[in-house]
């Protein structure tokens, strides 16, 4: 009797997923995401993790519910929630905090017992910064004024919810919180403590929220290597990149060891489908053949070429396995352009 091929959900008790680029793009759901996540929820916990600090957990849950997902407010973990844990470690309880951001951040700061200010003249004990569409020069300037320390002193603590360089919206890719943090950094010559992906704090907060002791029994779904995948890997979670958002073959092929996912999915339908075995065969002169499904990629010296076509996602799986298996930086290889398609 043949053994059933495993799926990405085998052995998983908690599924955590990013939102932008995985569940939705702008206001609308990504095809197949809602049905796949509701099906996963029938047998395990499902949590939603977002670096976006512009909305409250309640508003995020409401949006997800409108899309058809079965979700409660406590199923949503936001970067402001993780940032508050860091803020409580660095600022006195009940102190005044200068907030750069919108309601998604101010509501969490106030709920933790801090007093919110928008002015450096109020002598804040710390600065906390997160993304909101209305953030502009005035808020960034106030943060810089508050963070500027007298010579020889360290200055007050600075916590950032996240440092994503970009954020996907309905009309395309827009600057994210990382660009705003960088503007303040340029002015003050300091870097913040960061709560959101790829830092460990937000993953630890999610595992604690859902009472999961073994990080390896959780699977994180993301669309970006530099935040989702590297962060999940650092935190000890299983990781899967979904090719419905920011990163595609062009980013996956040269990925370093720390940012390589355990699974590559075309879309979330593949969560509970058998994951194809990644087969490697070595022939004469050390020529290696990497096979995923019907796709086959051959490595002959520095040449990496697609020898047999297959589905788009299997081409990416075979291509990444081939490139990563060389142990050679991609700029030193001659890679078939068909692997980037």
22 and 123 within one domain? no
pLDDT of residue 4: 59
Distance CA 261, CA 316 (A): 12
Helix 79-90 to helix 200-209 angle (10° resolution) is 110
Distance, C-alpha 205 to centroid of its chain: 14
242 and 290 within one domain? no
Task: Please choose, from the candidates 270, 221, 222, 220, the residue with its C-alpha nearest in 3D space to the C-alpha of residue 246.
Answer: 222
9 three-state secondary structure: coil
Distance CA 44, CA 41 (A): 5
pLDDT of residue 18: 96
* CA within 13 Å, CB half, 82: 30
Q: Among all chains, which residue has been given the structure tokens 């990013």?
A: 18
* CA triple 245-248-254, angle to 5 deg: 140
177 in a structural domain: yes
Distance, C-alpha 286 to centroid of its chain: 37
121 and 161 within one domain? yes
190 and 113 within one domain? yes
In this structure, the strands spanning 295-300 and 288-292 are antiparallel
CB 279 within 8 A of CB 295: no
Task: Give me the average pLDDT of each 10-residue run along the chain (341 residues).
Answer: 74 96 91 98 96 90 97 96 95 97 94 97 97 95 93 87 85 91 96 95 95 96 96 97 95 97 98 96 91 97 96 97 96 96 78
pLDDT of residue 47: 98
CB 190 within 8 A of CB 81: no
8 in a structural domain: no
128 and 228 within one domain? no
- What residue numbers bound the domain in which 296 lies? 278-340
- Which of 170, 194, 218 is the last residue before a domain boundary? 194
Distance CA 316, CA 338 (A): 10
Which CATH number characterizes residue 125's domain?
3.40.50.1000
Task: Please choose, from the candidates 261, 264, 267, the residue with its C-alpha nearest in 3D space to the C-alpha of residue 293.
Answer: 264
- Which of 245, 272, 299 is the last residue before a domain boundary? 272
189 and 85 within one domain? yes
3 in a structural domain: no
- Which of 143, 164, 194 is the last residue before a domain boundary? 194
Query: Which active-site residues does the annotation give?
Result: 18, 20
248 and 157 within one domain? no
Distance, C-alpha 219 to centroid of its chain: 12
328 in a structural domain: yes
185 and 86 within one domain? yes
268 and 282 within one domain? no
Q: Is the peptide bond before 237 cis (omega within 30 degrees of 0)?
A: no
241 and 149 within one domain? no
Distance CA 208, CA 211 (A): 5
60 in a structural domain: no
pLDDT of residue 233: 97
318 in a structural domain: yes
pLDDT of residue 97: 98
72 token code pair: 């409660």
How many domains are there within the chain? 3
162 and 101 within one domain? yes
Across the strands, what pairs with 50? Answer: 78
71 in a structural domain: no
233 in a structural domain: yes
pLDDT of residue 1: 36
Q: Among all chains, which residue has been given the structure tokens 């569409």?
A: 133
187 and 85 within one domain? yes
């Amino acid at each position: 009797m043949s053994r059933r091929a495993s799926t990405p959900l085998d052995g998983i008790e908690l599924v955590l997923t990013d939102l932008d680029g995985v569940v939705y793009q702008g206001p609308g759901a990504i095809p197949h995401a809602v049905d796949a996540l509701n099906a996963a929820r029938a047998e395990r916990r499902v949590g939603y993790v977002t670096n976006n600090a512009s909305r409250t957990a309640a508003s995020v849950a409401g949006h997800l519910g409108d899309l058809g997902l079965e979700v409660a407010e406590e199923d949503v973990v936001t970067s402001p929630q993780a940032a508050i844990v860091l803020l409580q470690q660095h600022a006195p309880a009940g102190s005044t905090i200068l907030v750069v951001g919108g309601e998604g951040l101010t509501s969490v700061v106030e709920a933790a017992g801090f007093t919110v200010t928008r002015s450096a003249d109020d002598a804040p004990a710390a600065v906390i910064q997160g993304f909101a569409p209305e953030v502009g020069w005035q808020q960034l300037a106030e943060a810089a004024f508050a963070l500027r320390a007298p010579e020889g002193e360290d200055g007050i603590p600075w916590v950032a919810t996240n440092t994503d360089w970009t954020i996907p919206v309905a009309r395309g890719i827009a600057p994210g919180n990382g660009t705003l943090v960088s503007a303040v950094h340029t002015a003050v010559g300091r870097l913040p403590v960061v709560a959101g992906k790829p830092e460990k704090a937000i993953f630890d907060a999610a595992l604690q929220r859902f009472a999961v002791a073994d990080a390896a029994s959780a699977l994180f779904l993301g669309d970006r290597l530099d935040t989702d995948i590297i962060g999940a890997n650092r935190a000890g979670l299983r990781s899967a990149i979904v090719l419905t958002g920011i990163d595609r073959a062009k980013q996956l092929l040269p990925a370093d060891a720390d940012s390589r996912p355990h699974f590559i999915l075309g879309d979330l339908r593949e969560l509970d489908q058998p994951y194809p075995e990644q087969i490697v065969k070595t022939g004469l002169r050390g020529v290696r053949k990497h096979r995923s499904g019907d796709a086959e990629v051959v490595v002959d010296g520095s040449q990496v070429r697609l020898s047999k076509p297959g589905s788009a996602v299997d081409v990416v799986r075979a291509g990444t396995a081939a490139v990563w298996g060389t142990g050679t930086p991609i700029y030193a290889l001659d890679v078939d352009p068909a692997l980037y398609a």
